[in-house]
Structure 1
């Protein structure tokens, strides 16, 4: 199986750890459900995964450290869940990401500086971080951005002086 889409249903309960055995998954969608509990760490076995959509899926807890293995990930939509802890530093190593959405969760700040490695991003949305203070320094080389939403993150400091170089930026 390469595509698993369970989105927009009334599914509930915890996601089974056995999902990790489906190692050929390319796209995974569980958004718009009523799941509970953490993401199974076995999902980090999906080395071919390029897209994960889990907006409003009901999952909670920390993002498993095994997600550091998802080096082919291009789109990560993970908004409106109950993710906790900090946004993992390893997200900055997922260099193929073009879309990253972490809005409306319960993450703690600050925004990891390692996100500065994500120079292929065209859509970056992070909001509602609890505690911590961040600067905008991490976006310095993200000149491919067309959408940038950083709402309610206790950002301080100045707007980067190179903001005029973001020629594709249409939503700020």
Structure 2
């Protein structure tokens, strides 16, 4: 049996040297506390498979060394924040299996170091931003099981390092671009 409860009363400043925080497969709930920003040396933050709810806190942006951010399999809601595009050092962004809604922010196309982007099984709508074609280091893109519509932009042909592309269970139309 894992941890249960919230992180709201936890004193993150006491762990200022921590470089990796993995709290997967627990029974943590509530919102992600903004005080997590005290972990300024974090390179990996993995909070997947819990019951966190609420929005992604803006304070995450202060984790300037973070290269892996995993919030998958929670109850996170709201939209994918455009400010995530300021985290240009990210290699892995996992937001799948939450309650995220809205559109894929075009600003995510500024995450030039991103290797994997997984946003599947949410409530994301709208079209695939053309700017995702700027993510030339991307190896994995999974946008499946959402409400994404429109056609697959030909700009995704710029993703020369892509080895896995999953867009099933959406409302895409038209032909696959060459």
Report the TM-score, using the length of structure 1 for normalisation: 0.87
Richer in strand (by share): 2
Aligned partner (choices 132, 140, 143) of residue 149 of structure 2: 132
2:125 and 2:174 map into 1 onto residues whose CA distance is 19
Gaps of 5+ in 1: 162-172
Residues 31-72 of structure 1 deviation map (CA, whole Å, 9 limit, x = unaligned):
100111111110011121110112102211122333222110
In the TM superposition, what are the counterparts of 1:56-95 in structure 2 within 5 Å? 56-95=73-112
Superposition pairs for residues 12-161 of structure 1, below 5 Å?
A: 12-130=29-147, 132-161=149-178
Say which SS state the counterpart of residue 126 (structure 2) adopts.
coil
**1:170: which partner in 2?**
none
Name the SS of the counterpart of 1:55 in structure 2.
coil
**Following TM superposition, by how much is the alpha carbon of 1:138 offset from its aligned partner in structure 2, in angstroms?**
2.9
The Cα RMSD (Å) is 1.5
1:131 deviates by 5.6
- Shift of the 77–133 alpha-carbon distance from structure 1 to 2, 3 Å rule, reads same
TM-score, normalised with respect to structure 2:
0.84
Count matched residues. Answer: 161
**Structure 2: runs of 5 or more not aligned:** 1-17
Note closer, same or farther for the CA distance 1:148–1:131 as it changes in structure 2 (3 Å cut).
Answer: closer
Q: Is the 1:54–1:78 Cα contact (8 Å) retained in structure 2?
A: yes
